[in-house]
C-alpha cells in the first residue's frame, strides 16, 4: 500500500469549497450528553485553521456514535458550539447531512467560513457506502480533505466513497499517521522491534502475523502470552487462555523460526489468586502457574529481557499492554516497558486504544515519537491491510 499521499499543501484551496471529514466522535456524558473530552476537536484545529487561513470555505462532517438513523441524542450541534469556542469564530450548523438545509448553507458559504454538517450516520447510506450519498456529499464541495484517521479503516460514504467524485487529499492528522505508522511499516529504521500484548491472541491474529513478516524481533506479553505458553506445553492455571488459538500460536512460533525473527516470550509471570486490584500475588516461572492462579503481568526477569531488547532498536512498534495495567499492582511490566521506550534512542510508535491510554496514564506520552490516535485503524494498519480511507486519497 502506498502511504505517500497528497496533503492539503498539495492542492489550491483558495476560494474553493472544501469538504473536510473530521473525527468528531467525542465521548459524551450518558445522562446530559455533555462532551466529556474535546481532545478530538482540538486535534482537528490545525487542518481547519490552515484551510480557513488559505481562503477555503470549509464544510466539515463527521459521524458520532452509532445511530441507526436520525437520533437527537447524537446530534453534532454540541460539537459545533465547542468548535466555535476553540476556534474563536462562528461555526454554522446544518440540521441535515445532504438535505435542503445542508445544501442551502453550503451554497451560501464564503471563504473563511466554517459549516458543520449533521451526524453523517443519520443517513442510512453512510455505512453502506452508498454512491448516491457519496455523490451528494461531493456535490456540496470542490475538494475533499480527510483528517479522520480513526475512521479510515471503514469504507463509508464520507470516509472513502466521496473521494471518487472530488480531488481527495489528507489533512495534517492523517499525514502524520502515515509518516510515522506508514514509515515504521514500509521502511523502518532497523532493527525493528515489535512489542505485542493486550488481552487476546484472537484480536491480534493479523497483527502478529504481519509483524512477523517485517520485524527483526517480536516480543509477546499480556494476556495473549498464556495461549502461547499453553501451546508450548506450559501450565497456565486460570490465566486468559484461548484454546481455539493454540495451533495458531504454534504456527507463529514456527513462522518466527522460518523467518529468522527473534521471538521473545515471558520467562516469568506475576500471578494472582483472583482477578482483582487487591489480589494476593506471587512471581512464578512462565508455564508453571499453579492451579487456581492467573497471570496478570510479566515477571521481573521478563521485564529485564524486554527492556534490554528495545535499548538498541532502531524502531519500536508497541501494541498491547504487558498486563492488567488498570490495577496498579499489575502495571509494573507495562510501566517498565513504557519507561524503556522513553529512554531508547529508537523511533517509538504506539498503536491501539488501550496501549495509548496506558502510556498516557503512566505519564510517558510526551516521550514517545508517535502515539496513534486511531485505535481500530492503527491495528488494521499494523495488520498490513489496505485502509479504504487512505487508499482513496491521491498519491503524491
Ligand atoms: P489495545 O487496545 O492497545 O490494542 P487490547 O485491547 O488488546 O490493547 O488489550 C488491552 C487489555 O488487555 C487491557 O484492558 C488489559 O487489562 C488486558 N490485559 C493485559 N494483560 C492481561 C492479562 N494477563 N490478563 C487479562 N487481561 C489482560
Ligand atoms: Mg483495546
Spatial separation of the C-alpha atoms in residues 95 and 378, rounded to whole Å: 32
Strands 268-272 and 17-21: unpaired
Q: Among the options 55, 99, 183, 353, which is catalytic?
A: 353
Beta bridge partners of 350: 318, 371
Please list the alpha-helical segments (H only) found in the chain: 39-53, 77-87, 100-108, 131-138, 172-177, 183-186, 205-214, 224-231, 246-259, 300-311, 332-343, 353-361, 375-382, 388-391
Active site residue 40: yes
- What number does the ligand 1 atom closest to the CA of 351 have? 3
209 lines ligand 1 (CB under 6 A): no
pLDDT at 34: 93
Q: How far is the CA of 234 from the centre of ligand 1 (A)?
A: 21
Which of 227, 245, 321 should be mutated for ligand 1, with most atoms under 8 A from CB? 321
pLDDT at 71: 96
Class of domain 180-382: alpha beta
pLDDT lower than 50: segments of the chain = none
Which of 199, 229, 283 should be mutated for ligand 1, with most atoms under 8 A from CB? 199
Q: How far is the CA of 187 from the centre of ligand 1 (A)?
A: 28
What is the location of CATH 3.40.50.1260 in the chain?
8-173, 180-382
Closest Cα to atom 19 of ligand 1 = 323
Q: pTM to 2 decimals?
A: 0.90
Find the helix packing angle between 375-382 and 205-214, rounded to 10°: 50
**Element holding 319 (H helix, E strand):** strand 315-319
Closest residue by Cα to residue 97 from 52, 127, 145, 63: 63
pLDDT at 55: 98
Closest residue by Cα to residue 79 from 121, 17, 37: 37
Q: Which residue, chain included where needed, has cell 487512505?
A: 390
Find the helix packing angle between 332-343 and 353-361, rounded to 10°: 80
**Element holding 296 (H helix, E strand):** strand 294-298
51 lines ligand 1 (CB under 6 A): no
Q: Quickly count: other Cβ atoms within 10 Å of residue 236's Cβ.
A: 23
Pick the CATH number of 8-173 from 3.40.50.1260, 3.40.50.300, 3.40.30.10, 1.10.150.170: 3.40.50.1260
Active site residue 353: yes
Question: How does pLDDT run across 259-290, given as a tens digit for each residue?
Answer: 999 999 999 999 999 999 999 999 999 999 99
pLDDT at 382: 92
Amino acid at each position: 500500500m502506498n502511504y505517500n499521499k497528497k496533503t492539503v499543501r498539495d492542492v489550491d484551496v483558495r476560494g474553493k469549497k472544501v469538504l473536510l471529514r473530521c473525527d468528531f466522535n467525542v465521548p459524551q456524558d450518558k445522562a446530559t450528553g455533555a462532551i466529556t473530552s474535546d481532545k478530538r476537536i482540538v486535534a482537528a484545529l490545525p487542518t481547519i485553521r490552515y484551510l480557513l487561513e488559505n481562503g477555503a470555505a470549509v464544510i466539515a462532517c463527521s459521524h458520532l456514535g452509532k445511530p441507526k438513523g436520525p437520533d437527537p441524542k447524537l446530534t453534532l450541534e454540541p460539537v459545533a458550539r465547542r468548535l466555535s469556542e476553540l476556534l474563536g469564530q462562528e461555526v454554522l450548523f446544518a440540521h441535515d447531512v445532504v438535505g435542503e438545509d445542508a445544501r442551502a448553507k453550503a451554497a451560501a458559504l464564503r471563504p473563511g467560513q466554517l459549516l458543520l454538517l449533521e451526524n453523517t450516520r443519520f443517513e442510512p447510506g453512510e455505512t453502506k457506502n452508498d454512491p448516491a450519498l457519496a455523490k451528494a456529499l461531493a456535490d456540496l464541495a470542490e475538494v475533499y480533505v480527510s483528517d479522520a484517521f480513526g475512521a479510515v479503516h471503514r469504507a463509508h460514504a464520507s470516509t472513502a466513497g466521496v473521494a471518487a467524485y472530488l480531488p481527495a487529499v489528507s489533512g495534517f492528522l492523517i499525514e502524520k499517521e502515515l509518516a510515522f505508522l506508514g514509515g515504521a511499516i514500509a521502511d523502518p529504521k532497523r532493527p525493528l522491534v515489535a512489542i505485542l500484548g493486550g488481552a487476546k491472541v484472537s484480536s491480534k491474529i493479523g497483527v502478529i502475523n504481519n509483524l512477523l513478516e517485517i520485524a527483526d524481533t517480536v516480543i509477546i506479553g499480556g494476556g495473549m502470552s498464556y495461549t502461547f505458553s499453553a501451546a508450548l506445553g506450559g501450565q497456565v492455571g486460570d490465566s486468559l487462555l484461548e484454546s481455539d488459538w493454540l495451533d495458531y500460536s504454534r504456527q507463529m512460533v514456527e513462522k518466527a523460526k522460518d523467518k529468522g525473527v527473534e521471538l521473545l516470550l515471558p520467562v516469568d509471570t506475576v500471578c494472582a489468586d483472583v482477578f482483582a486490584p487487591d489480589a494476593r500475588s506471587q512471581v512464578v516461572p512462565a508455564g508453571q502457574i499453579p492451579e487456581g492462579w492467573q497471570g496478570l503481568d510479566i515477571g521481573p526477569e521478563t521485564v529485564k529481557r524486554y527492556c534490554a531488547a528495545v535499548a538498541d532498536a532502531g524502531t519500536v512498534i508497541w501494541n498491547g499492554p504487558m498486563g492488567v495495567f488498570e490495577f496498579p499492582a499489575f502495571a509494573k511490566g507495562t510501566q517498565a516497558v513504557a519507561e524503556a521506550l522513553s529512554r531508547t534512542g529508537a523511533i517509538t510508535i504506539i498503536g491501539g486504544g488501550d496501549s495509548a491510554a496506558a502510556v498516557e496514564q503512566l505519564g510517558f506520552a510526551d516521550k514517545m515519537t508517535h502515539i496513534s490516535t486511531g485505535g481500530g485503524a492503527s491495528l488494521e494498519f499494523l495488520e498490513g491491510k489496505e485502509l479504504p480511507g487512505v487508499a482513496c486519497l491521491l498519491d503524491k
